[in-house]
Chain A
Amino acid sequence: MMEPRIDYYPTHEYQGFKFRRGHTLPFGATVVPSGVNFSLFSSAATGCTLVLFRKHEEEPMVEIEFPQEFRIGDVYSMIVFDLDVEELEYGYRMDGPWNPSAGHRFDRTKVLCDPYARVVGGRDIWREEPDWEKRQHHRGRLAFNDFDWEHDRPLEIPTEDLVIYETHVRGFTAHPSSGVSAPGTYAGIREKIPYLKELGVNCIELLPIFEFDEWENSRKHPDTGEWLLNYWGYSTLGFFAPKAGFAATGRFGMQVDELKTLIKELHQAGIEVMLDVVFNHTAEGDHRGPVISYRGLDNKTYYILTPDGWYYNFSGCGNTLNCNHPVVRNMVLDCLRYWAAEYHVDGFRFDLASILGRDQNGAPLSNPPLLESLAYDPVLSKCKLIAEAWDAGGLYQVGSFPAYGRWAEWNGKYRDSTRKFLKGDTGHVGEIATRIQGSPDLYYYRGPTASVNFITCHDGFTLRDLFSYNYKHNEANGENNNDGSNDNESWNCGWEGESTDPAVNHMRAQMMKNAICLLMVSRGIPMLLMGDEFGRTQHGNNNAYCHDDELGWMDWALAQDNPELLRFTREMVRFRHQHPVLRSKSFFEHRDRVGSGYPDISFHGTQAYWPDFSPGSRCLAFRLDGAHAGSPDSSIYVAMNMYWDGLPYQLPPAGDGKSWKIAVNTSMPSPHDIYSTSEAPFLQDQSSAIVGPRSMMVLVADSQ
């Protein structure tokens, strides 16, 4: 039998609590034999006190000052013995200078949350109004690594095969129409796994699930009296802690298990999990914001400050995390490794990622160490890394984000140009030809999988609203409609807002189908927004960040109202999965590489082999050669007509003795808008086809 280790005997005692010097690493609170190891970094503190609470009690049960000999370098560590780990909460008091102009904001009166806390208490139940008299709202708790993953691990689905579904944990099932037993939770999503599977998506991207405070900047709408909350959660409190309020079992402290169970079951269904992570700022805001953690622990290390100690605001949220400081960089790395290893997360999408490439003075770096470290990290080597390649400080890096061959990007240019093309703007055919190839102009050295193609995302109009509103309608946000983008490239199809005109609604439905079709035939990684598959609306609100209500939730009744669109989307996703010619890691070479007699891609217009790239054009067609797919596949022809009248398109040959079948025709009513492969009818005239006004047609080559 192994002898008990000498380093787990107490050497000190204070008020009945036994302790000894601890292990400097890992940071955070870690269960060790007979005790808990606490380890914390601060470069400028002069002293540190560990504050221990019984769960939910206002007064601490003990405050233990770290003896100076327990500090090694800038790290305070201590093992405290015989603690009830289930009932424990903890924080720290820091001694040090209060000198804001020098960047220091130590305040011994504050009990601070551990940046490495694996669980953060204080917002255990979603939307339960806090006791505002409380001195400290957020305390660290312990998490246990005893979850039974069985044989699970991250799925490592090839990037080119992904179809991403962007969703909000609460918004996905909070609406009563969701019919789940635990609305608005991780468990709620679990009940919807069969739906996701049927939809065909194989990756869900969750809006932030790191612990945040939904009450941050909360207010009541001046007219309606409705609570406006920090619903989206782009404001992190604890980078290592899952949002407790998103767990049905959060009130019991079981959010870790509930989230892991969700991820495990999604994996069993073949669906990856990607997290939207926010490392550009924290919930502490600027100098007027609350002192929760980082500001009081080591303000100068964690934040980018002006020379006189104010907060740079490249995030638009008050502060900017100092991500390229080596200590913060390590925290980000530790955090992502933790989520990848402990939660089996498959990938990350980085909010305002360009900030991660700024130096400690805010200047963009040519070789940002954090981004490089993430790209080459051994634990993260199979994780998908996706950047929102811009920030609120004006840095726009779509196509130029420092990628190290690893990073993909939300392709904002795909969104903008497809929107313009779809609504019939002229002068965009050339750019569309580039975008549907995976944007080689932007990602030539990375390949098309660097391009996350999307037309809508949480930020902006939903797909239905994109074709129902010319202007944003954000009055419900209580900011006099000043918030949200004015640059939406939307088209209301002739009437602003909801309409009873069948012609208007028909056109909107067709435009939505065009958008989904274009997305699914484009090379790159397609991303759908939650609810777009059945026409979710935010009634023209393009910035619903504060709406924990019907505006922000997914109304599942729309699936019954718009079954045609739902069917079309499912079939379109299936079509993409069925045809490897639509998905590749490589760009087209515009030549015949396999001796099939056809180039891998050829462009056409209303006349075969004569694409019209002139400024007045609204038409484009392309043929993908199945022999170039890498695995057996049919050739595909896609015709896009964004002109307001139907046009005859001369067809290129199907090739190899085959004929063209109609797979998709968005101008036709359901079920003739999209066919399964076996049901698809052959074109009677194999030399030309009429493509209806503002519509798309997809043909597949097959043997008669």
Chain B
Amino acid sequence: MTSCPTISHAGIHCRDVTKDYGTGTSRVRALQGVTIDIQPGELTLLVGPSGCGKTTLISILAGTLDATSGDVDVLGVAMNELSKEAKSAFRAENVGFVFQQFNLLPALTAAENVAVPLVIRGFSRLDALRLAKQMLEAVGLGDRCDARPRELSGGQQQRVAIARALVHEPHLLVCDEPTSAVDAQTGHRVMELIRELALNPERVAVVVTHDARVYGFADRVITLEDGRVASDERKHASCP
């Protein structure tokens, strides 16, 4: 496996980041010189209307997409300079993902799904499952370890996804619309859990959301419009 670049806890720093899709006349500029700094130990929301570039930005921050230009420094690592393999290793080591559609593997049990990031990092199956069960206990699903995703409610699936995102103790937690596929009450509990996890001083947490009801959980809300930062509002967060 490719060795992972050494990281620091310096948060995220983007300078004049642009991203173009397509070429020639069909070229679309999704990000137009985005400059932001995100500190560890706080919960940052990326919000904005559809097509504003927030998914593109979060993909670049998570290392799943390359910026067209600009500097992207994540946890002290210049992402632009990493090879494809090194980025994979960086993500495996440092990034936890919570996806909008959960993206749990339907053939695996909850515990096996949570164990996947550990297996990718090279843990044995037994060790990975042991740690995964502990993580499921931590998110309140200790009794559903052997359930398959289809046997779980939307909220339970999202909690499994959160457990999967955190089982390898990543320094960057990236959540894409974590409340969009669950009801309001479950969404509230999911955000409570994410906020609790984001307060770790060694962890950077970025959440992309459309859901205005969760703004209250954030320490900071960055609004994107037409690929630019339209506002950057710091809040005094408290659980609503």
Please say whether chains A and B are actual partners in one complex. no
**Which residues of B pack against A, CB within 8 Å?**
none
Interface residues of A (CB under 8 A from B): none
